[in-house]
Amino acid sequence: MIQSQKATFDIQQSSGSKKNVEVEIADLRKITEVVKNRYGYDFSDYAKSSFRRRIQRVIEMFQFNSVQEVINRLENDSSFIETFLAEITVNVTEMFRDPSFWREARDHIIPNLFLNHDTVNIWHAGCSSGEEVMSMCIMLKEMDILHKANIIATDIDKPILEKAKQSRVPIKNMALNEKNYIRYQGQKTLSHYYEEKDGMAILDPTLFAGVSYRNFDLVKGEVFNKFDLILCRNVMIYFNQNLQNRVLKKLHESLFKYSYLAIGSKESLIWCEIASNFIIVNNEEKVYKKIKD
C-alpha cells in the first residue's frame, strides 16, 4: 500500500518534465469497450472522474505514450488484464475504518439480528483485501458469537481476493488499524490476534473458519443468496448513479425483509430509485433496514 503511494508520489514529481497524456471521455469509452468485449468486465457505468484518474495512472506507471497503446496492450496481451483490473479497482481499506460504525454494529445491529435469529448470514460485498472481514470476525469473536455467523466475502478482483483469504496485513498498516481498534473500544489489543512474520501481521486463521471467499462481479453477477446483513461500504462510490441503482436493486434482493445494509459514512441512498424500500436506522453511520420487498 505504501508502495503504491510512493509510486503516485514519484509520478507526481516527474510529471512536470514528462509529456502528459490527457485522457478524454472518448478514450475511456474505447478502453471500456475493449475490456468489455474481450474480457467481459463492464466499466461503462463507473464514476468517470476516478476511472479517468486510474487510467491516467496506468499510463504513467507503464509509461504508455498514448491511450491507443493501452488499448493495443489490452487487445494483444491477455495477461495484462489482471494488472489492469488491480489498478482500476484498487480500493484502500483499513481495519475498523470508522470506529463509530463498528460500535453501532456491536451495540445495535448485531444484537438486534440475534433477537430473532440463532445464526446470521453476512455478506461483505466488495471486500477488497479483507480488512472489514477481519474487523467483523474480531468483533464477533469478542461478542462470543463468531461460531453463529456465516460470512461470505466477495470481490471482482481475483488477486486481491487471494490476499483477503490469507488474512495478513502489512505490519506498517497495523499502527493505524490499532488506533481505529482503540477508538472502537475493543476488549483487547489487535496484537492479541496476530503474529508478526516477514513484515506482515498474520491474523489467527481460526477467526476465519466461517468465512467463504468468492470471486463476484457486483455489476454482472446474479443474486446468489439472502442475507441478514450486507456491508458494502465505499464500494458504490465508484459507480455512477445509473449503476448504483442497478447494484442497489441487487443488494435489496439479496436481503431478507427487516435486515440491514451498511454503506460508507458519506454515501447516500436518497438518489436511488428504490430508496423507499429502505428506512435509515442510523444516518451518521449510514445503516439502512429493508422494509419492503
Interface contacts to another protein, rule CB under 8 A? 1, 4-5, 8-9, 12, 15-16, 20, 25, 47-50, 52-53, 90-93, 97-100, 179-180, 183, 234, 236-238, 240-241, 244, 264-268, 271
| DSSP-H helix ranges across the chain | 2-14, 25-39, 48-61, 67-76, 80-89, 99-104, 110-116, 131-142, 158-166, 174-184, 241-253
Residue number, 94 or 204, with CB nearest to another protein: 94
Q: Which helix (H) or strand (E) holds 125?
A: strand 120-125
Q: How far is the CB of 70 from another protein (least distance, A)?
A: 18
**Sign of the dihedral defined by the CA atoms of residues 63, 67, 71, 72, in that order:** negative
CB neighbours (10 Å) of residue 4? Answer: 14
Residue number, 212 or 268, with CB nearest to another protein: 268
C-alpha cell at 290: 429493508
- Running DSSP on this structure, what letter comes out for residue 156? S
Q: How far is the CB of 271 from another protein (least distance, A)?
A: 6
Euclidean distance between CA atoms 186 and 172, whole angstroms? 20
Which residues, 6+ apart, have CB-to-CB distance to 145 below 8 Å?
A: 110, 114
Question: In which region does residue 63 sit, left (phi positive, over 0), alpha (psi from -120 to 50) or beta (all else)?
Answer: left
Residue number, 238 or 278, with CB nearest to another protein: 238
Q: How far is the CB of 116 from another protein (least distance, A)?
A: 31
Euclidean distance between CA atoms 83 and 89, whole angstroms? 10
Q: How far is the CB of 15 from another protein (least distance, A)?
A: 6
Q: How far is the CB of 55 from another protein (least distance, A)?
A: 12
Q: How far is the CB of 176 from another protein (least distance, A)?
A: 9
Q: How far is the CB of 139 from another protein (least distance, A)?
A: 18
- Running DSSP on this structure, what letter comes out for residue 269? S
Residue number, 50 or 78, with CB nearest to another protein: 50
Residue number, 227 or 239, with CB nearest to another protein: 239
Q: How far is the CB of 40 from another protein (least distance, A)?
A: 24
For residue 99, give the nearest of 177, 46, 21 by alpha carbon.
177
DSSP 87-111: HHH-----TTSSHHHHHHIIIIIHH
For residue 157, give the nearest of 273, 54, 286 by alpha carbon.
54
Residue number, 2 or 115, with CB nearest to another protein: 2
Residue number, 69 or 94, with CB nearest to another protein: 94
Residue number, 53 or 188, with CB nearest to another protein: 53
